[in-house]
Amino acid sequence: MYNSVEFNTSTDTRFVQTLVDLKLNDFVLSKIYQNSDAGAPSLSFAFMNQNTPLIGAPTTSAVLSTTLPYHNMSPASFSQEYVSPEEDPQEFDGVIYGPRANETFNGISQDRLHKAILGAVGTSRLRKIYESNKRSFFEILACKPAYSEVLAYEICKYRGDRLISRTAIPNSNSLDVVQYVDTQVKYNTIYTYKIKQLVVVFGARVRFQHPGSALESEELRREDYDSHGAWAVIDPARAANRQSRVTSGGYIRSIVTPNIKIFEVPYGEQTDCRVIDDPPCMPELQFIPFRGKDDRILININNAFGEYMAPPISIDPSDDEFFANVKSTQGNLQNDRNEAVVRFTGDDIAREFELYRLDYQPTSYQDFSGAEVDYSPISTTFRGSRYDSASRVDFIEKNKSYYYMARTIDYHGKLSNPTPVFEVKIVNNDGIIIPTIRESPFTARATPRKNSRKMRRYIQISPAMAHQVIPPGTTDQLNVEGLSAKAEPQLDLNEVEIGLDSEQPSAWGKAFKIRLTSRETGRKVDLNVGVNLRRRSGTD
């Protein structure tokens, strides 16, 4: 059992790759997480709308704000802060993937001279990266983004609101896609994985001086800190008027110095992660008749193996909720026709089988709801041992069709799709027993009606009374007494419609097939009957 988290990584890692080559990842990350556990400081950021005026703007003009923890990484104190010869790398409550158990790393942590050399190399590389990507004061005013790299990725695992574990994965040039496999999970337990980026931002700090004042440091070059320009002094009351003119100007000295920080930036979140097995495959259903027996059938049900995807089929209303949870857990899979499907896998043994039976041809699987046989579900445990199949003898009536269907329930309570519907019939024709077993398609749903009845020796077939009478009022128009040649009828006999107005169609002029079936032998006799109306006049 495992959960898998996969995400892409940043490939711009010039400084980070230096830490990888010098094997300084563990030193830096250990110090960062040590500071995080102790409570790292944080900065608040507000992203403003570009159309919002800066002068006199209300404090609610920020369209997005956030607060991020950070860690300082100054070139002047990098060696002392992260690779101090007097300190060993600190442990934290988490896991750092890297050479922590490597003999080389263990040797570095104990060699003060080696650590001092690596600290000096790392400091030099940090300064070079900043120098090659530094921004001038006017570039900062123009909102040129600061150069940044992703130092590492942190995966925080939660169960509910409780933090379970922290895992740090250092970034490098060779790391393209991270596929994190977590095997420390429990079955059907929901976990949440929050991913953070440790981003090294090569920012800058700007200070201002009068152009005539003395330099703060001889290490700074004049061309790096002198930025001359005309500055507008505008009345704040007229700030909204973009046509305001510059009323005065002046020069200022700007000093831009490195301000490198490592920010903990949220990267993504994967929720509702749980380990559950897929629903099982539909079982294999086999029917075996008995020799010389017309009242029973042997049913063998075997668990199936393999993997396939198919639309889920519900029998009971409660199945809809079960399959909805399965589809959500599997990521709402779809087939080529954009139909919602479920992945069925035979990765578990069957706990029991559900067997359904009907004595009429179904129109859908929902017709089997509540039609389980008396001995269903059929357990696969026999005398304390677990098996992957089951058998039962079902007693039936001869010369009668039965419709069977089954599905599997595994040991985690997962339901399979139902099997195809099988029609089973054992015909006894004067002692000759003929079993008929075949797959049965669903019939079209029609208005329920009684299409058969029992009989003994004689049968009378005639149209219903509603189809034999003359509609009321028609006899007066016919003038029946006048049919003896005293008076001509007012309505011609051929124009009269026989039968009352009803929702049932008229039977006249139609043909019907009547099938007689012997309850003893199952023999059938078909009668093709036509119902015709013959009209005769009163003189015939």
Q: pLDDT tens for residues 410-426?
A: 888 889 999 999 999 99
- How many Cα neighbours within 13 Å face the side chain of 250? 9
The DSSP line for 160-229 is: TTEEEEEEEEE--TT--EEEEEE----BT--EEEEEEEEEEEEEEEEEEE-TTSPPS-TTS-HHHH----
Residue 162 has pLDDT above 80, yes or no: yes
Region label for 260, one of left (φ > 0), alpha (ψ between -120 and 50) or beta (otherwise): beta
Tokens matching residue 388: 């992957």
CA distance 29 to 172: 14
CA distance 165 to 160: 13
CATH number among 1.10.3370.10, 2.40.30.10, 2.60.40.10, 3.40.50.300, domain 284-439: 2.60.40.10
Residue 81 has pLDDT above 80, yes or no: no
Our CA angle for 128, 134, 135, nearest 5°, is: 170
> Reduced to 3 states, what is the DSSP secondary structure of residue 525?
strand
Tokens matching residue 207: 């200070």
Tokens matching residue 89: 């790398």
Q: Mean pLDDT of all residues in the chain? A: 77
Which of 225-239, 260-274, 523-537 reaches the highest mean pLDDT? Answer: 260-274
What stretch(es) of the chain map to CATH 2.60.40.10?
284-439
Q: What is the pLDDT of residues 353-373, one digit of tens each?
A: 999 999 999 999 999 998 888
Q: What is the pLDDT of residues 184-225, one digit of tens each?
A: 888 888 899 999 998 999 988 888 776 656 555 444 444 444
Mean pLDDT is lowest, of 31-45, 75-89, 278-292, for: 31-45
pTM, to two decimals: 0.58
Contact 256, 217 (CB under 8 A): no
